[in-house]
Amino acid sequence: MPPRAAAKAATAKAKVAPKKTSKASKAATPIVEAESNDSEADDIPATKAAAPKKAAAVQKTAAPTKAAAAPKKAAVAKKPAAPKKTPATKKSPKKATATSSDKENEDAVKPKANSKRKRAAVEEEEEADQESPEEATPPPAKKVRKTASPKAKKPAPEPKARRQLKAINEPPTTVLDVYVFGAGENGELGLGADKDDGKRPVDVKRPRINHNLKGKGVVQIGCGGMHAVALTNDNKILTWGVNDNCALGRNTKWEGGLRDVDAEEDDSDDDESGLNPLESTPGEVDMSEVEDNTTFVQVVGSDSASFALTSEGKVYGWGTFRASDGILGFTDQSHEQKRPMLLPDLKKIKQLATGTNHVLALDDKGKIFAWGDGAQNQLARKVFEREILQSLRPVGIGNLPVRGAKPVKIACGSYHSFVLDSEGRVYGWGLNQYGQTGHRIDPDDEESKMQLKPKLVETLAEYKVVDIAGGEHHSVACTEDGKLLTFGRVEGHLLGLDDDVYSDDNTVFEEKNGEKLPHSLYKPIPFEDIPPVASVAVGVDNSFAVTEDGQVYSWGFSVGFQTGQGQTDDVEEPTLIDNTAIRGKKIIFAGSGGPYSVLASAAEEEA
């Protein structure tokens, strides 16, 4: 789970192919040249040799475009092109014979001489012909120059419908009433920025119903370090809390937030919380890069990232991973991911689980993938500094050490990981300096403080474990018959046990200032005075046990009211959470981040 000190650092446009010049356009280009040549021919009558060549050229050029260049002026005489019929001369209505044509062509040669007087005479004769319409034969009709019709644009093909894969996961359907408590100084309670019914949205000591989620149809919740994620029954994903590293998957830029401290003086009743309302109020994640017809079934949060599983077993994610020296990145190509992106290496996934900065995924064949920060071996593989970005790619962790073991559930602590198999056996690996993986450590042996590969937790072998969760330095589990088990760091009342239960048979001791003190519990001791437990949840250093009858017990670190007990002192042993908000409700979910926690019951209309 994310550390308490979690830093507040937490469409594509369609390409258009360049237009190719159509064949029609290419063919149309010489027409302009032919027209230009014809214009010159009209101004200066062609010679015998030139006339037929130009006519042929025009026809040859015009053929592909079905266009003919028409003379702008009526020529005095024109030799017909071989395949065409020449219009009759002005004085003769009959078709020109070969003899008359020759004579006309001989006459046509005469104006070729550059004699202004002869040229003028010819023009006067033409004008006279135009003034006697009854004698004149109408000039050849100008042919309309046809341009190549542009090819009709084909409508852009509609994008092919995404091939629907077979659904392998079903979304939850029970609508929840959500209760929150904790410090809330960064909007992680989702209560907004203003008072509601006279109550401030911060320092919520005991469970309070989240009015912003009432009626939203929330069916599942994931707790990150300082943000939370919720899935609704109409397939929306809502987020709230710290968005410093895009963990909310939406824009929360706000121009407000600067407060005049001097002007406030001693007004402790100020309605202003200073919270960003866009972060502290649940809002919908930007789905602009999510495939159509996607149905979500699970959401989870890490310290500065969020992930969502689909019915088809695909995984989307956004935000970033952090390492000890700052931002590690989201993928090897993306520093911070602002909105959900598909993780292509993951297919047919059935479950997701998150630690502070790492993620596990379990597929339908029982294969487990891990990615994120792997500095403490929580990815079950060595991560070298020179190729550290490779840790951001999901990679299988390999087979479990017990032959034939079938993984059915995955879970994470802050820097360690767990797998449960179908027989209720537990396998743990990762950071182990307090035995939080379930493996006994030797305080003087550094190698025992890191477990590289999944290893069977032998001290849990006598139990059939059905649920398990991890914090930063401790872990909690429950068994098929409802027993509650804790192991790991003793200090800080993380395990909820009396000091007199620790012995050399179950505990590693250490010397401090000449005194022998319990260091870590490696052999769990079942609690005797708690009703049968159905599920467990762990924050950084606080824990919850949800009983089969829907009651909730909490214990551990409580400085930010994250235990829901209304106190800032440590809660030394599992204690029933009881206040008016949840009294009589059957709680079916508990979750915890850093300085906040969440409970949920079936909504009243669903109960």
Q: Give CA–CA dist 508/73, Å, rounded.
A: 114
Segments forming the whole domain that contains residue 530 = 176-252+271-602
457, 516: one domain: yes
347, 231: one domain: yes
Pick the last residue of a domain from 131, 165, 200: 131
Listed range (112-121, 159-168, 191-200, 430-439) with the worst mean pLDDT: 112-121
Please name the residue that has the structure tokens 């004699």: 115
pLDDT in the model for residue 11: 40
Listed range (380-394, 413-427, 547-561) with the worst mean pLDDT: 380-394
In a domain, 33, yes or no: yes
| Number of domains the chain is built from | 2
pLDDT in the model for residue 317: 99
108, 201: one domain: no
pLDDT in the model for residue 523: 97
Has residue 254 got a pLDDT over 60? yes
73, 186: one domain: no
In a domain, 597, yes or no: yes
In a domain, 199, yes or no: yes
The CATH number assigned to the domain holding 398 equals 2.130.10.30
370, 457: one domain: yes
In a domain, 7, yes or no: no
Contact 434, 392 (CB under 8 A): no
87, 194: one domain: no
Q: Using 50, 70 and 90 to split pLDDT, how confident is the model at 149?
A: low
Mean pLDDT of 200-220: 98
In a domain, 159, yes or no: no
What burial letters (b/e) apply to 352-388, b meaning 16+ CB within 10 Å? Answer: bbbbbbbbbbbbeebebbbbbbbbbbbbbbebeeeeb
Average pLDDT value over all residues in the chain: 81
Task: Specify the higher pLDDT residue, 317 or 92.
Answer: 317
123, 189: one domain: no
Percent of residues in the chain assigned helix, strand, coil, to nearest 5 = 15, 30, 55
Find the DSSP H helices in 328-455: none
What burial letters (b/e) apply to 179-211, b meaning 16+ CB within 10 Å? Answer: bbbbbbbbbbbbbbbeeeeeebbbebbbbbbbe
Has residue 120 got a pLDDT over 60? no
87, 181: one domain: no
Pick the last residue of a domain from 131, 165, 190: 131
pLDDT in the model for residue 385: 87
Q: What crossing angle do the helices spanning 50-62 and 23-43 adopt, rounded to 10°?
A: 160
pLDDT in the model for residue 17: 40
In a domain, 475, yes or no: yes
Contact 414, 1 (CB under 8 A): yes
The enclosing H or E element of 26 equals helix 23-43
Give the three-state DSSP class for 76: coil
CA 369 to chain centre: 19
209, 298: one domain: yes
Q: Using 50, 70 and 90 to split pLDDT, how confident is the model at 62?
A: very low
Pick the last residue of a domain from 131, 151, 186: 131
239, 340: one domain: yes
Give tens-digit pLDDT for 257-308.
555 545 444 444 556 678 999 999 999 999 999 999 999 999 999 999 999 9
Give tens-digit pLDDT for 311-360.
999 999 999 999 999 999 999 999 999 999 999 999 999 999 999 999 99
384, 455: one domain: yes
Contact 577, 561 (CB under 8 A): no
In a domain, 146, yes or no: no
423, 534: one domain: yes
pLDDT in the model for residue 163: 72
Has residue 81 got a pLDDT over 60? no
Q: Using 50, 70 and 90 to split pLDDT, how confident is the model at 162?
A: low
Give residues with Cβ within 8 angstroms of 478, minimum separation 6: 465, 466, 467, 468, 484, 485, 533, 534, 535, 536, 545
In a domain, 79, yes or no: yes
Has residue 558 got a pLDDT over 80? yes
pLDDT in the model for residue 155: 60
Find the DSSP H helices in 132-280: 261-264, 277-280
Q: Using 50, 70 and 90 to split pLDDT, how confident is the model at 161?
A: low
